[in-house]
Structure 1
Amino acid sequence: MKGVMIQGTASDVGKSLVVTAICRMFANEGIKVAPFKSQNMSNNSYVTVDGKEIGRAQGIQAEAAWTEASVWMNPILLKPRSDMHSEVVYLGKATKTLSGREYRDSFYEKALEVIRESISQLEKQYDFIVIEGAGSPVEINLKDREIVNMKVAEMADVPVILVADIDRGGVFASIIGTLELLEPEERKRVTGIIINKFRGDLTLFNDGIRWIEEKTGIPVLGVFPYMENHMIDGEDSLSLSRHFTSKKNAALDIAVIQLPFISNYSDLEPFLYEEDVSLRWVKDASEFGQPDAVLIPGTKSTINDLHYLRAKNLETSIRKHIDDGGFLVGICGGYQILGEELIDESGSDTGITNNCVNGLGMIPAKTFFKSEKETIRKAAYLHENTGLLKSQRLEGYEIHLGRTILTQEGCSFLQSSEGKADGFYGVNGKIIGTYLHHLFHNDEWRNQWLNRIREWKGLSSKEAFYIKDYKDLRFDELARKMKGNLNWDLLNQIINQWSQRA
């Protein structure tokens, strides 16, 4: 196979971003390239065109590569539901929830089989594959049955580029330590090093490059600058607070409830483009303040996160916010939390069948958790109940186990072209609940909603900012910046020589 694998000295060193950039670099040269990650652990997912679920990073990398995402690009997705258990999404479909021990003991051979099949499928369809590792390749306690790093590089038979994060400190020790802990055959596969997140004058690191190359015998292929607000969707929970940095003195203050099992937080990313909007994470009542709007995002464990919200006294804060005339939006699990009652009929949310819990009661609805997950890309229109422009088409996707039924008529938010209603629209739009992820990625709708808040605050309305126009430019800018600091010819030489070995 012709390709390369990007591994890292630790989590959140920038592997996903590097893979995204390299995918666009090869795509810009007319090469048919695909991303691949054997196993992902993230609650930030992506729905493929055929309604399957994969890690969001691989979906974004496919977009950067100008290709359609498929389950072969991420055959296994683990979605954490507690500190000990994760839902296993296998080839795009949720299968079962397992503990780490159960997964490790019972799933290893099945995982190897689907990884081999995925690599084979991608090899048939693409000229080149860029593979992303996970965490560190030298987690000694897990290494004997790992399926995300060197085992995958061996199966695909590709060279490995090691990425290290200089911003966190200890970059020399992290590189040397990683290489020393690899087996001799694994170490031979590491043919290049990339230093990521460098701040300041790159020439000041020339001595560091020489030391690394002399000490390891491995070339440093590039030193990438720290990229603020690169706007490439994240997947790692470690990057949450870093990715969503609050703007100071912004006119509009939006508080996002940071649930422990938050999922699909890419729903929030469009607000980063709005100059007068500040997003801030709220974990308890002491941080709530006086926001203009509150967002309750999706969650992989709705009832557990509802209990968390109450334990942190956030229910009282949200109720006061509504009483004061503020805006409130719940998406997916956040929509469920806002309802009157949550009934876990199948035990799919909590593991306890027929577990009933009272919601916040701000939306007249009941949610019934089923065993079958609904995963679908969706287009809808504003419901006639809203009194808004019905012809406005909203696009997004749904991923949920719950089925929510309104207990009051005449308050739906959206309707499909087939007439199926979704969500809640109440208090003249100040309370909204919906299953539609990426609601705010619809530029005209986001602008309409924000202008309502601006009007409420006595501020002037603004024109819509069309994010979709900037998406490809964003990928190209990322690729341009990284390629300018990368020995591209040497990387290609390494890849070609490896694939041509006898």
Structure 2
Amino acid sequence: MKLTKDGLGKSINGWLLRQIELLKWKTEPFTEGSDGMRGVMIQGTASDVGKSLICTAFCRILSDQGIQVAPFKSQNMSNNSYVTILGEEIGRAQGVQAEAARTVATVDMNPILLKPESDMKSQIVLFGKKLETMGGMEYRANFYEQGLAAIDQALVNLSKNYTHLVIEGAGSPAEVNLNDREIVNMAVAERADVPVILVADIERGGVFASIVGTLALMPHPERVKGLLINKFRGDIRLFEDGIAFLEAYTKLPVLGVIPYMGNHEIEQEDSLGVREISRDNRNRPIDMAVLKHPYLSNFTDLEPFLNEPDVSVRWVEFVKDIGKPDILVFPGTKSTIADLRYWKEQKIEDTLLSIENKTRIIGLCGGFQMLGDSLSDPDGFDGTKAEFEKGLGLISGMVTHFTKEKFVKRRSGTAKMNEQTFNVDGYEIHTGRSKYGGKALVSFEDGTEGVQTERLIGTHIHGIFGSADSRQAFLAPIRQEKNLSQPMVQECSDRYSRFAGHVKAHIDWAQVERIMEGKG
């Protein structure tokens, strides 16, 4: 993040002022301090059409123009969270977008975060802190007014420090069964009084029906000022008649057709996005199998391995599909005991015994906790009540107990793996408190964290594989065993600018600017 020391201080001071303002919540629509506040809202015809990445690109483009821009998403549903410098949780997409905007991520950028704990209940994180767990009907009935108040307050706070907002919608705005109490799409565009650009994913097929149908069913379609076609593959000339049809039928301009870009290196908030990228790296010599928990979280810990040209990353939903990989990953989870039981019901212990001398194991956060001797959560703070749950026993003596208070903290230290030392810059976010011994993985000024053996590493720290040095240290013995040379990994030093340039080159940015200024 390109931020001066003075800028960081200003952001922290702004946060302190916001804490005072939070004591005076407002229930009227966003108006205070909004003079000169401009922006745009990116809505989509469905989930995973690319809204988050387009918002990221817009944030960087506006930042390049010297504009004080901030991302905003009123309510996010994701177990892939971002920890701010003050130890608060927001949706990871808004943290990434803040980095693209060259500003400090704050809870005002995503005041409401829902973290699913089961099919029926989600943990509510309000302004970065855990509030309570609610079922869907209870949330819809009892949280609506409180949610609107939080959204209005966040918009007021952002208007004091920024001139432009890039607002991200959620899912589809045409969910007619939810629109009377929705707080994520057109209701937000109305409260912030910004125009809307509608994005459709052409790769899925049915792009014409998805656009026309969405416009027909969404409230206030007159606020939509343009269309974007995303993830196009092939010769753009083949779609010229499609553009002409859409513009004639909808009376809206097609602002651009953005070609698919699979190697943008920007973290995906939705695991669907990571799974799509991983399809392109099959048949590589190092086989990494990643367990796809039912309540998977923080899957972006594994995204950096997609940059390794000799590593194949594949998702595994059933034990029978694990096979005999070189690396088996237990990633993070929002409901550790529930997901542990899912794998134990399929007798994963037998598979672990059969591969114990051939496969290296990685345990991350909740996945790390599964590898211990036992877990206990008598009050169900992590989603599933259990007085005692037997772990997988790969880390002898490790016990985990879940508490009401969540541990959230950014972490910086050093780690040594296979005689190679590297820096670690990540964060911890978990309710389980674990006790274990053995050789530590990461060292801090005030202690250590994690554990490592010859064929296993475990840690609560998310982002530990973010650097090429860390991945090289971990992969070195595997490459040696397979007689593979160390490949040259060219990591994009400014992935945000690269992707923003790609987007800007394929859209009518001048028209987007006119739309944001209310002239489109």
Shorter-chain TM band = over 0.9
Letter in structure 1 aligned against 2:424: L
**Alignment of 1:285 onto 2:312:** no
Aligned length: 483
After superposing the two structures, state which structure 1 stretch, 107-116 or 286-295, moved more. Answer: 286-295
Measure, in 2, the Cα distance between the counterparts of 1:387 and 1:242: 32
Paired residues of 1:158 and 1:498 also in contact (CA < 8 A): no
Structure 1 residue 302 corresponds to structure 2 residue 332? no
Contact kept, 8 Å, 1:299 with 1:305, in 2: the verdict is yes
Q: What corresponds to 1:42 in structure 2?
A: 78
What residue is the counterpart of 1:459 in the other structure? 483
CA distance in structure 2 between the aligned counterparts of 1:276 and 1:52, rounded to whole angstroms: 36
- 1:283-314 deviation per Cα after TM superposition (whole angstroms, max 9, x unaligned): 22321121111110000000000011112333
* Counterpart pick for 1:399 among 398, 405, 429: 429
2:206 equivalent to 1:151: no
The residue that corresponds to 2:411 in the other structure is 378
C-alpha separation in 2, matches of 1:30 and 1:118: 23
**1:427-449 CA distance string (max 9 Å, x none):** x2x11111011111132122111
Query: Do the aligned residues in 1 keep the contact of 2:195 with 2:518 (CA within 8 Å)?
Result: no
Structure 1 Cα separation of the partners of residues 99 and 121 of structure 2:
31
* CA distance in structure 2 between the partners assigned to 1:62 and 1:314 by the alignment: 40
SS of the residue corresponding to residue 148 of structure 2 reads helix
Residues 81 and 301 in structure 1, CA contact (< 8 A), matched pair in contact too: yes
Q: CA-to-partner distance for each residue in 1:326-355, whole Å, 9 max, x for gaps?
A: 211100001100000001143202353x52
Name the counterpart of 1:231. Answer: 265
Q: Alignment partner for residue 55 of structure 2, among 9, 16, 19? A: 19
Structure 2: distance between partners of 1:237 and 1:143: 26
Residue 164 (structure 1) aligned to one of 177, 197, 200 = 200
Q: Does 1:357 align with 2:357?
A: no
Equivalent in the alignment of 2:153: 117
Residue from 104, 115, 130 that aligns with 1:94 = 130
1:90-129 deviation line (CA, Å, top 9, x unaligned): 1111121111111111111111011011111111111210
- In structure 2, distance between residues paired with 1:199 and 1:283: 29
**Aligned residue runs from structure 1 range 387-426, under 5 A:** 388=419, 392-406=422-436, 409-418=437-446, 420-426=447-453
Note closer, same or farther for the CA distance 1:228–1:463 as it changes in structure 2 (3 Å cut): closer
Whether the 8 Å contact between 2:274 and 2:303 is mirrored in structure 1 is: no
User: Does the residue aligned with 2:216 lie in a helix, a strand or coil?
Assistant: helix
Q: 1:46 to 1:203 in 2, by over 3 A?
A: same
CA shift, 1:368, in A, is 0.6
1:405-456 Cα distance to aligned partner (Å, 9 max, x none): 01xx4432223211x2212212x2x11111011111132122111002212x
Q: Quick check: 1:104 aligned with 2:137?
A: no
Q: Work out whether 1:340 is the aligned partner of 2:365.
A: no
| 1:498–1:123 distance in 2 versus 1, CA, 3 Å | farther
Q: What CA distance in whole angstroms lies between the structure 2 residues aligned with 1:248 and 1:236?
A: 20
Structure 2 unaligned segments of length 5 or more: list them: 1-36
AA aligned opposite 1:402: G
SS of corresponding position for 1:125 = coil
The residue identity in structure 2 corresponding to 1:373 is K
Once the two structures are TM-superposed, the CA of residue 387 in structure 1 deviates from its matched residue by 8.3
CA distance in 1, matches of 2:375, 2:434: 9
| One-letter identity of the residue aligned with 1:28 | D
Q: CA deviation at 1:392?
A: 3.6
TM-score of the pair, normalised by structure 1: 0.93
Q: Distance in 2 between matches of 1:41 and 1:226?
A: 25
CA distance in 1, matches of 2:490, 2:518: 44
Secondary structure of the corresponding residue to residue 439 of structure 1: coil
Question: Is 2:239 the partner of 1:215?
Answer: no
Runs of 4+ in structure 1 deviating by more than 4 angstroms, as ranges, are 386-389
**Cα distance change of structure 1 residues 387 and 189 upon mapping to structure 2, 3 Å threshold:** closer
Q: 1:234, CA displacement in angstroms?
A: 1.1
Partner of 2:323: helix, strand, or coil?
coil
Indicate conservation of the 8 Å contact 2:288/2:311, yes or no. Answer: yes
Cα 1:53/1:220, change in 2 over 3 Å: same
Q: Which amino acid aligns with 2:479?
A: R
Partner amino acid, structure 2, of 1:55 = G
CA distance in 2: counterparts of 1:220 and 1:279, whole angstroms = 36
- The answer to whether residue 90 in structure 2 is matched with residue 60 in structure 1 is no
Give the counterpart of 1:485 among 475, 498, 506.
506
Partner in structure 1 of residue 516 of structure 2: 495
**Unaligned 5+ runs, structure 1:** none
Q: How far apart are the structure 1 equivalents of 2:325 and 2:143?
A: 46
How far residue 76 of structure 1 moved from its aligned partner, in angstroms, is 0.7
When normalised by structure 2's length, the TM-score is: 0.90
Q: Shift of residue 71 of structure 1? A: 0.6
CA RMSD across the alignment? 1.7
SS in 2 for 1:294: strand
Structure 1 residues 471 and 36: alpha-carbon distance in aligned structure 2, compared to 1, 3 A threshold: farther
Of the candidates 178, 184, 189, which is equivalent to residue 214 of structure 2?
A: 178
Mark the CA change 1:466 to 1:202 in structure 2 (over 3 Å): closer, same or farther.
Answer: closer
What is aligned with 2:351?
317
What's 2:456 paired with?
Answer: 431
CA distance in 1, matches of 2:190, 2:76: 18
Residues 82 and 95 in structure 2, CA contact (< 8 A), matched pair in contact too: yes
- The alpha-carbon deviation at position 381 of structure 1 amounts to 2.7
For 2:77 and 2:445, how far apart are their aligned partners in 1?
35
